[in-house]
Amino acid sequence: MKRLILLLSICMLWGFVHLSLDQELRQVLIKNKLQTNTEKVELDSAKIELGRLLFYDKILSGNKDISCASCHHPKLHSGDALALPIGVGGKGLGTERTMGKGRDHIPRNSPEIFNRGSSEWHSMFWDSRVQDRGEQGWYTPADEKLPQEGFDNILAVQAMFPVTSRDEMRGEIGDLDINGEVNELALISPAMPQSIWFAIMQRLIAIPEYIELFAQAYPEIPTEELSFVQAANAIAAYEISAFTFLDSPWDKYLAGKEKALTDSQKRGAIFFYREGSCVSCHSGNLMTDQQPHNLGIPQFGPGKDIDVPLDYGQIVESGEAEDLFAFRTPPLRNVALTGPWMHNGAYENLEAAIRHHLNPGKALDNYSVQNLPKELQISFQDDPGVIKRIKETIDPLLKNGRLQANEQEIQDLLAFMQALTEESAKKQITKAPQHVPSGLAVDDL
């Protein structure tokens, strides 16, 4: 028996004993400390219902023509299916949405909002401009003007800011709303976000149905003491309730159901966590390290803030040179459903997005704008100087084609991405309300 054990040990050392895919993958799971995500968030039903109606109600926007759902619709897998979103002034949903006169695209891709109730989240937005810094409090564009107490989670803090953005929801000075009346939200200085939130709440509590809904969700807070923090908490509660899914084939495999994955998906998972080193950035249950990385993504669109027509990314927040053109790693849950991909929707094909990682510099040099809408094609930044600057700070993990994958590995990796798709997300079980308290039209497909 001792000789047999010794022989088996020698064979394994020299690779003569082949581990099954499941044995290999189990070793990977143990090494990466991966396990079933059973985290549950307790939510109040009255708060969820209030948040559901606020999520679809255009009363939150300056011109009363756009809601949260316009860019994060359940039937579009919590996104908008566009490379770059169309905000204030737009009409319609998804690829049928049209631009308002004199408007431009929002600079960054509308992110999916799946599984945002996880305690793993500590940053929001492509540039992490909203962060949970623990004892230091919230880090946000509003600085000390943001209330430091009263938020249920970081997702609620995030919900405070789309309504303050002129392009996304607030509108421009001189805008008239859909009724031809002056947009009073647009008149407020962007340096006074607290005044914007107060003005929105005045709109809400002028509607009797909202007074009742807030009373049900927050019976301890008198109407006159309500703030937009309560509205943001409710929106976050709805988003968590509507878009949290943990029933993907990958979840089932983590729970011990080996037949939940195909052989190709298992090989893809092994490559993802081992040879491909994808886990270096796409870590944890959410499959994101929430850190900035420059992937050498082509630049197009209106640009961002003072950087127009470029979008310099995380460096604007951090001031760190290595963050030039860097954006936060996106989560991969339901990734196969949430294209176009990258911070600006540069790729409408997931395989193309994966292949970009193999040699970002080369992919940037060879990028074709043909799949972009015509109005974005003409904004493509093909100046050699711009290309050179982007390539100079490509993440060292990917620079010069350091990541290698053959055709079989790429197809296996794609198969694994499909295994991250939750069955419930495929079914689009969340429905838009037929009516919102303001009486404004509800966007739906």
pLDDT grade, residue 304 (50/70/90)?
very high
Residues 194-226 have pLDDT tens digits of 999 999 999 999 999 999 999 999 999 999 999
When pLDDT is averaged across residues 56-74 and rounded to a whole number, the result is 98
Closest-CA residue to 79 (of 118, 109, 56): 109
pLDDT at 6 over 60: no
pLDDT grade, residue 248 (50/70/90)?
very high
pLDDT grade, residue 4 (50/70/90)?
very low
Cis peptide before 340 (omega within 30 of 0): yes
When pLDDT is averaged across residues 314-320 and rounded to a whole number, the result is 94
Residues 135-181 have pLDDT tens digits of 999 999 999 999 989 999 999 999 999 999 999 999 999 999 999 99
Name which of 36-45, 192-201, 209-218, 319-328 the model is least confident about: 36-45
Residues 179-202 have pLDDT tens digits of 999 999 999 999 999 999 999 999
pLDDT at 103 over 60: yes
Name which of 33-37, 220-224, 346-350, 374-378 the model is least confident about: 33-37
pLDDT at 5 over 80: no
Here the tokens at position 372 are 């972009």
Per-residue pLDDT at 8: 43
CA distance 302 to 87: 13
pLDDT grade, residue 15 (50/70/90)?
very low
pTM, entire model: 0.94
Residues 282-296 have pLDDT tens digits of 999 999 999 999 999
